[in-house]
Chains A and B, each alone.
Chain A
Amino acid sequence: MRAVNAVSTSLPSLASTHPAFASVAEAELDSVHRYLLFLTGNRAVAEDLTGETFEKAFRVWRRFDPRRGTARAWLCRIARGVALDYFRAEERRRRREARYARELPDTEEPAYGEGALASALDALSPAEREVVALRVLLELDGPTTARVLGISQTACSTRLSRALKRLEEMMSDARV
């Protein structure tokens, strides 16, 4: 059993000095990608948005202040903004091309692989998937996750609990 809150989610050197961007990017790339993969539910989109996230982080790297939070949380906030921009753009695009989009064949690569878990994750909303990604996969603590999502800690906890219960129910149903 691991106590998630006790896990350090940042590089040790970040606390005192401004870390190098390259080392942070190397360390946090998988985390950010994982988060965006769960948030978007699309592997190709997640890759694009991850790249876009790090490009944006590269441009505003001087604004990062290790005293105010971990690099992972900071990158996740950027990634979330990038993803929301993507969702807005996607929504506008879908509205414009509603009929055409419906007729497009589904050729996307499965985001979470095959199996019951993948189907269950697909059934969750992006909001539920992102809280699962942040808390379970990226192992951010409750307050940091709440800050990244812009919600209260209670709401964050509730959302996580609900998402995990739904996942488990769907998986149980699939096994039966």
Chain B
Amino acid sequence: MPASETVDFEREFAELVRELRAVPSEAPQELRERVRALGEPQPARVMRLPRVTRRVALVLASGCLVAVAGAAVAYGLVASSGRPAQHPEAAATFAKLPHGGRVHLNLTRSSTTAEHGVAAFGAATTQQPFALSNSVAVPAPNPNRYQNYQASLRVRVKDFDALGKRTSDAMQITHQLGGYVASVQQSTTSGAPGEADLVLRVPVAHVQSALIRLSALGTVLEQHVSIQDLNAVVSAQRQRILQLKIEIARITATLQQSLPADVRLRLQFQLDEAKRSLSNVTGANASTLRAAAMSRIALSLTTEKTAVAKHHRSFLGRSTHAAFTFLAGAGAIALAALIVLSPLLVIAVLFVLGLRAYRRREERRLLAAAP
């Protein structure tokens, strides 16, 4: 009410106001004594909760937000401080290859590949921590033994241009190491990831160097190495060759003697059979030796983007990702709670407003008429 209005009623109704103030309305002595007898209230023993004012509510809300953010940061740090996910590639190297053994090693960076790097040789298995990088550690062939060395490598390159260039590089590396390119297939279709599949034959003596250099062409996604010891096979083949040669020599010597016609004919058949077998075994032996001399490397170059990058985020990146994941979860919970509670809140607010309106109307009614 403006001050002028106040002054106005004092001036306008001056006489009336004076009369009103003169109405005897002092409290009687009895009532005064009764009130005095109340004395002084005892100080409250219960601890009072702070009055929830707007400021306190604001501080509480801010505190809650800070707490949630702090929890998210803590979660992010804790979640990312552990060792990165154990990957199969974490794992294996070779000591030496026992006789007659076969080794199969899978190295992969893809999280979707469930293969584990294992070096298995009967009971003799050796596993050591093994970090996959572009300079991939690969098992070395044993120069004193015949081994069938096969490897497959999947490497991601940047784009189509890089794909063509890296394909040429891979062929050049193969030639430089004394090998040859068995086959090349390259496909680059717009809108699809580019692929180049090469089958390379590299002398076993240089396979390790070849794999390391090929790995450097891009980001290694997968690497599989298979080593099969061929010494036993070669020995068996040589043994067989020797046996056949001896047999041939024996039959030839026998045929030079005078023999009945039917015996001569039978020996002639045996000689032909032995020569045929010798020819086959000799061919197989040559094939085995060729396989032992030249390794086979299946190289796949691709421009495909994979989830690999996710596993190689920095600590800060992992922490941030975990924190945002936490916040997203908290937000989803809060939203769900709000959705569930909002009808109840609306009902409660309507109830309070209705109650207040009812009480006000009742007060007006009670005070409208003199009792």
Contact = CB atoms under 8 A, between A and B. Distances in A.
Interface of A: 1-5, 20-22, 25-26, 29-30, 32-34, 37-42, 47, 50-51, 54-55, 58-59, 61-62, 65, 84, 87-88, 90-91, 112-113, 117-118, 121-122, 124-127, 130, 132, 135-137, 141-143, 145-146, 150, 153, 156-157, 160-161, 164, 167-168, 171
Contact of A47 (B12, B13, B27, B41): B27
Given A47-B28, A125-B368, A141 B20 contact: no
Interface stretch (B32-40, B263-271, B286-294, B306-314): B32-40
Contacts of B25: 30, 33-34, 37-38, 137
18 contacts: A20-B40, A29-B27, A29-B32, A29-B35, A30-B26, A37-B25, A42-B371, A47-B31, A51-B31, A62-B41, A62-B48, A84-B363, A88-B362, A136-B17, A136-B20, A141-B6, A150-B363, A160-B9
B203 to A, nearest CB: 94
B34 to A, nearest CB: 5
Pairs A-B, 4 closest by C-beta atoms: A142-B1, A127-B367, A33-B27, A34-B25
A1 B23 contact: no
B366 A137 contact: no
A5 to B, nearest CB: 5
Contacts of A141: 1, 6
Given A117-B23, A132-B20, A25 B10 contact: no
Contacts of A30: 25-27
A136 B368 CA distance: 20
Given A33-B26, A39-B367, A126-B371, 12 more contacts: A1-B7, A4-B6, A30-B27, A37-B25, A40-B371, A47-B27, A58-B38, A61-B41, A65-B51, A84-B363, A87-B366, A136-B17
Residue from B11, B14, B20, B39 having most chain A Cβ neighbours under 10 A: B20
Interface size bracket, B side? 35 or more
Contacts, number: 140
Contacts of A126: 366-371
